[in-house]
Structure formats: structure tokens, C-alpha cells
Amino acid sequence: MKLTRKEKKAQTYMSLTYIRKLKKFKVSEADKEVTYRRKPKKYKQALYSQNRNTYTFEKAEGIFNRWLEKNKHRLPTALLPKAGYGFYFKGVIKNISLYVNGMPEAMLSYYYYGDYKNIAIEDEDGYVDTTYMAYIGDESYHPQKGYYDADRTDGIFTYYPSREELYASEVFERMIEYCNKYITPQNSFYIFNFNNSSSVDIDTTDESKLMRIGMQKDFKDAEFIDGLSEEECSKLVEIDKAYRVIKYELFEPNKEPLIRYIWLDRDKKNDT
């Protein structure tokens, strides 16, 4: 079939050779994510279908892995790859995992692997909750200024000459700050559980010096339950009269967690 001049121009415009000349990011096949080019309306559908091509941009995970090689010494401990995706912290309990996804977004996810049936886990992996340390909500590019996170309500943006610098400054550096503050031998991982709901926190092992206001409130004048069996305490948790505190010391992966029970409402204990 003989193509018209306009159709030949469309074919050239959508060819892989043309795309490769224009693309900014030269990456391996493993680190590519695909975004389909919008179909030019003025050209024939048949021609477009025969020449469907793509732009290629580097995944955030690929940028993070490269950045991590140069900055891993700045984290509180080495990262160990998890099966499939994510990282453990070396020497730290396996209840905490680090993830960096394609937004990009850096997060700590928390898991529970014990026997209590009324712990509110979300899936078969034991997932309980996540802390989002940093993310880029709306990555944008200004031709004169550079890359920036447009997800700011105040309209005050910081511009970077490359996506790598944007990700590093807005996400990876904040991730390091958070991890160095909380993933320390002085801290513990707390799970609070009552009436089939759960919440988690990382805070100091010394409960008299808790960092977070919410934790201070939970432990202020807390009256721990003594003299009752494990079964009796679990029953109180189920009927919403007490909550369970499970406390893991972060850098003691082989140590059993401390499990205690607190009256949820002091007035209710007389109703048991």
C-alpha cells in the first residue's frame, strides 16, 4: 500500500528510532515503565495501530536503587532485600519493612506474626499499618525551571534540574532522617489492640520518656491489669474494656515481646 505524504510523516513521528533519539532517560529494560503515546487524531486508525510505540521513563525504584548504593552507609543499619519487594533492616525485628514505590513514596509497613486472633491484620502477610515518611504527590516539569512536586497548596515550589535530584531531596533524604530518628536501639515497636482493632507506633523503650503526644496520652496514668489470667485479659480486650500492648524492642529480634493489658476505662473494671 502506498502511503500519502501525511501518513509517512505520521509513521516517522511514531517510529521507535524517532522516540529513541528524543528520549532523555537511557535505562535498562528492567527499569522501564511504559506510558502509551496519545493517538494523533488526524491520522488513520489503521496506520496508528500498525505503529503503536511508547515513551520510556525510568522507574522511581531504579533511581532509588542507584541512589541507595551511594547512600546506604547513612541509614541506621544495612538494608536486606525482602522476597519479592521491599527491605528489612539488618539486626532489627522483622515486623518492620521499608518500601519505596513508583510515586515515588517512602514508607515503613508494620506486620504482626503472633497468635492473638483479634489483632486487626489486613492480609495473609500479617500487615497491620503503614507510616508514610515522604512522597511526591504530583511530579511536574517546568521547561525553564526544572522538575518539582506540584502537590503543594501554598504554591511555593522547589525546582530541581533532574528527576534524580527531585526524588533524592523530596523523598530519599526525608526517609533517611525518619529512619535515623526512629530505627534505633533505644526504641521499641508498640502494637495497641482492642476490640478487633489495632494501631502501631515506634517510640522509646523507656515509657517515662515517650516522644509522641499520642503515646504519652495512652500511657499517662495507665493502670495495667494485674492478677488476671491471659484468657481473662483477652476477654476484656474482646468486649472493649481493656486494650493489649505488645512491645518489641527493635534491635532484639530474638527476644519475646512484652505483652501487657491496660484498662480502657477505669469505671468499666467494676463491671467485670
What is the pLDDT, as a whole number, of residue 116?
Answer: 75
Q: How far is CA 237 from the centre of its chain?
A: 30
The more confidently predicted of residues 272 and 36 is 272
Q: pLDDT tens digits for 85-139?
A: 899 999 999 999 999 988 899 999 999 988 876 676 666 778 889 999 999 988 8
User: Looking at residue 119, what is its pLDDT?
Assistant: 73
Q: What is the model's pLDDT at position 5?
A: 60
The per-residue pLDDT for 248 is 97
Contact 219, 210 (CB under 8 A): yes
* Confidence class for position 153, pLDDT limits 50, 70, 90: confident
Burial 247-269 (b: 16+ CB within 10 A, else e): bbbbbeeeeebeebbbbbeeeee
CA-CA distance, 92 to 214, in Å (whole number)? 24
Residue 259 is predicted with a pLDDT of 95
Q: Does pLDDT of 194 surpass 90?
A: no
Q: Does residue 270 surpass a pLDDT of 80?
A: no
Local confidence band at 197 (pLDDT 50, 70, 90 cut-offs)? confident
Q: What is the mean pLDDT of residues 75-88?
A: 93
Backbone φ, ψ for residue 264 (5° rounding): -75, -35
Q: What is the pLDDT of residue 110?
A: 95
Which residue has cell 474482646? Answer: 238
What does the H/E/C string look like for 29-86? HHHEEEEECCCCCCCCHHHHHHCCCEEEEECHHHHHHHHHHHHHHHCCCCEEECCCCC
Q: pTM for this structure?
A: 0.74
Q: pLDDT tens, 8-61?
A: 555 544 444 444 444 443 444 444 443 333 334 433 333 333 334 443 456 788
Tell me the pLDDT of the chain averaged across its residues: 80
What are the residues whose beta carbons fall under 8 Å from the beta carbon of 143, sequence distance 6 or more? none
| Contacts of the segment 124-133: beta carbons below 8 A, 24+ positions apart | 128/191, 128/198, 128/200, 129/198, 129/199, 129/200, 131/107, 131/178, 131/202, 132/105, 132/106, 132/107, 133/106, 133/107, 133/108, 133/174, 133/175, 133/178, 133/179
Please report the DSSP string for 135-164 in residue order.
Answer: E-SSEEEETTTEEEE---TT-----BSSHH
Q: Considering just the CA atoms, what is the radius of gyration of the chain in Å?
A: 26
Give per-residue pLDDT as tens, 229-263: 999 999 999 888 999 999 999 999 999 999 999 99
The x, y and z cell numbers of residue 221, run together, are 496514668
Decide: 248 and 93 in contact? Cβ < 8 Å. yes
Q: How far apart are CA 83 and CA 238, in angstroms?
A: 34
CA distances from 204 to 6, 74, 78, 112, 255 (A): 69, 21, 21, 19, 17
The answer, yes or no, to whether residue 150 has pLDDT greater than 60, is yes
